[in-house]
Amino acid sequence: MNAFDVIVIGAGINGCSLAYVLKSKGQKVLVLEKEDIASGGSGAAGAFINPKISKSGPLKELIEKAYLFALPFYEEHFASFTTSAPLLHIAKYEDDNEKVEYFNKHTSLEIQKTPKKLSGMLNQHAKNFSSAYITRSAIVEAKEICETMLKDVSYERVDVVKPEYKDGLWHIQDYSAKKLVLCTGGEEEIVKEPYIKLRRIYGQRCEVTSDTKMPASIHHEVSVSVTKKNGRIAIGASHYLDKDEMPSKEEGEVELLALAQKSVKLDNVSIVDSFVGMRSGSNDYLPLLGAIVDSSRSISNHPEFLKGSKEAELSYHPELYMINGAGGYGFVLAPYLSKLLAEYLVENKELPAFLEPERFFYRWAKKEASL
């Protein structure tokens, strides 16, 4: 039996970041993934490192903390796969203008007037909307980052069906560990709990070459990256809530290029590659981070949960945790969420209560009683 401190299921950016951070804290970690590293939503992500442009709120504040943590994290540890550049965020709709203008007036981040060179590259459609020019941003190479994170971590391709907990350890085939962390994104849940419901978001990213050299990234109709260290420009990622709405790969490429050209003039564009994937979001748009409540045992022990009580003691699956539901901010949030969870698992530091999955248990239990 191969024994570990922690088994992480899922080799997207959440699983890879967590494994990397746990390894740095002296933990023996195994990552299990049924496909290739970053083969799902992480591989198709735009992988932009930027703040959320909005008015105040817990999600905006969380993403800003994560963004300020992630920028130096990628720049210092994964410099060859990180292209740092300013970001021009342009409101997508007229209704978003007020939100962007509010951000400009109230943000503590460094913003400047859009440089003339970049402004001159914009099409009139983009100039019709309010914008924020943020001096610090980045884009990372999704697959290469994930692969590098696992360079010194044990990794196996295994389709995990049903982990078993016995004698104080989690068992999966010939592997065992004290702790198990689920980082499975929008895939089918390995440990099913009725209160955990994730939104699946489908999208596509293109990698192109162009005679146009982008001096900054632009977020508008779609995201168009700075010209990266590898000479490419990333365009994406599209968003579809229903898989059946997704265009074919070729149609998606045409759509992404057309939307990009509404914002910025790109000359002599050639598609190098494109990626399609599925990521996950939560119903309240905040990620899920922490221990997983055993709903059946909790209600059996304390039926008052069905009456809306939050006072009784919850029962948890033993040593079972998760990171999920980051939506379109996976590469921004993953390093910060991994830091928080690693500190919790290794150093027993508290997690932010507003991110813990149990928040959905209370809502679900109260709804169940009314059915």
d(CA 63, CA 73): 15
Give the CATH H-level superfamily of domain 2-40+144-197+283-370.
FAD/NAD(P)-binding domain (3.50.50.60)
pLDDT at site 241? 81
pLDDT in single tens digits along all 371 residues of the chain: 699 999 999 999 999 999 999 999 999 999 999 999 999 889 889 999 999 999 999 999 999 999 999 999 999 999 999 999 999 999 999 999 999 999 999 999 999 999 999 999 999 999 999 999 999 999 999 999 999 999 999 999 999 988 999 999 999 999 999 999 999 998 888 999 999 999 999 989 999 999 999 999 999 999 999 999 999 999 987 778 888 888 999 999 999 999 999 999 999 999 999 999 999 999 999 999 999 999 999 999 999 999 888 999 999 999 999 999 999 999 999 999 999 999 999 999 999 999 999 999 998 998 886 65
On whether the 86-136+199-278 domain is CATH 3.40.640.10, my answer is no
pLDDT at site 367? 85
pLDDT at site 1? 61
Contact 30/20 with Cβ under 8 angstroms?
no
DSSP class of 241: S
Q: Residue 93 class from Cβ within 10 Å (0-12 exposed, 13-18 middle, 19+ buried)?
A: exposed
What is the DSSP secondary-structure string of 295-336? HHHHHHH-GGGGGT---SPP-EEEEEEEEE-BGGGHHHHHHH
pLDDT at site 369? 67
pLDDT at site 189? 86
Q: Where are the domains of the chain?
A: 2-40+144-197+283-370, 86-136+199-278
Contact 145/81 with Cβ under 8 angstroms?
yes
What is the DSSP secondary-structure string of 269-285? -EEEEEEEEEEEE-TTS
Other CB atoms within 10 Å distance of the CB of residue 117: 9
Contact 56/30 with Cβ under 8 angstroms?
no
Which of 12, 91, 97 lies closest to 47 in space, CA to CA? 12
Other CB atoms within 10 Å distance of the CB of residue 270: 8
